Amino acid sequence: MGRPHTLEALVRPGVVGYVPADPARITPETAGAIRSHGFVGTTVRILAPLEADAEALKKAGQTLRDGGVEVVQCNPQYELLVDPIESRRQLGIRQLQAAAGCARLLGAHNTYVRPGSLSPAGPWKPHPENTRLRTIERLVDSLRQVVKAGEDEGVPFALQGADCSPLDTSERIRDVLEAVGSPALRFNADPVNLVGSLEELYDNAAVTNRLFDLCGPWIICAHVKDVMYLESLTVRLEEVPLGEGLFDQVTYARRFKERCPDGYFMLEHLQDDQYPLAKANLDGMLATAGIAWSS
């Protein structure tokens, strides 16, 4: 059988790429590069939220919009929200609060939030203390302080989880979102992050469905990538360019569309020159299933 004659309108294509680390370096050419590869939304990084240049942020956001690109996410750097050293945790809270103001200046739809980790190797690395109750309680307390800025600025935060982080399951993600209980704390879907075993890899649609069943009311944005088992003597799962793995992008796209019909499906974790092929692969998967991008 060929493709369906009519395509079901889906969501908007976005990309976490093509944008320089310094918002002051965003130009009309930046927006042109994003649009030329078929994307209409992007992320802007903020390396120092407490010292951000307000005028540069406003100009960057307007430049992108003038070029037909929405600032979907403000992605700040900050100290860890679960850090047991109180001075560092409080600095992270202040940095994220400042990032809400940066997001408003950019005209961003949301501010991205990593839960962090106790690992010295980085915020997305495993540690045996990550899912202990005291760590989760620190995270909830930090988020309760942070979200007040999102409420004041009118820009929600978008929390994300991963199987190596304190938010390692759909159930734990839901519990933390409920515990914070603010309309300014929402969720950034990324079910690949929750694929942690061969069983979950081979039935990853079930991972996606569970995430949306439990956390759907909070989802406002999505990161999109792929995952594959790599040949080795032990179980080893790795992200791969979209189209080279086993992740069920069609189930993911359909569940996201149900929840966020005008939302952004954001490809990520690739070099800029890898995104065109990844998007072409995703286009093909969705079109075969009768799905098209929203204009």
Q: pLDDT digit string (tens) for 10-64? A: 789 999 999 999 999 999 999 999 999 999 999 999 999 999 999 999 999 999 9
Task: Answer yes or no: are the C-beta atoms of 32 and 67 closer than 8 Å.
Answer: yes
DSSP 182-243: -TTEEEEE-GGGG--SHHHHHTHHHHHHHHHHHHGGGEEEEEE-EEEEPPSSS--EEEE-TT
Task: Answer yes or no: are the C-beta atoms of 60 and 33 closer than 8 Å.
Answer: no
**Enclosing H/E stretch for 157:** strand 157-159
Confidence of residue 3 (pLDDT cuts 50, 70, 90): very low
**Enclosing H/E stretch for 81:** none
pLDDT for residue 291: 82
pLDDT for residue 232: 81
Longest Cα pair distance anywhere in the chain, in angstroms? 62
226-229/237-240 β-pairing: antiparallel
Give the length of the chain: 295
| CA 49 to each of CA 57, 92, 111: distance values in angstroms, whole numbers, following the listed order | 11, 10, 12
Structural domain spans, the chain: 8-292
CATH fold of 8-292: TIM Barrel (3.20.20)
Choice among 64-68, 157-161, 261-265, 274-278 with the minimum mean pLDDT: 261-265
Choice among 2-6, 65-69, 141-145 with the minimum mean pLDDT: 2-6
Confidence of residue 235 (pLDDT cuts 50, 70, 90): confident
Q: Residue 217 pLDDT > 50, yes or no?
A: yes
Q: Which residue has the higher pLDDT, 292 or 274?
A: 274
Amino acid at 206: A
pLDDT for residue 5: 41
What is the chain's mean pLDDT, rounded? 95
pLDDT for residue 295: 65
Task: Answer yes or no: are the C-beta atoms of 70 and 41 closer than 8 Å.
Answer: yes
Which 8-state DSSP code applies to residue 13?
Answer: E
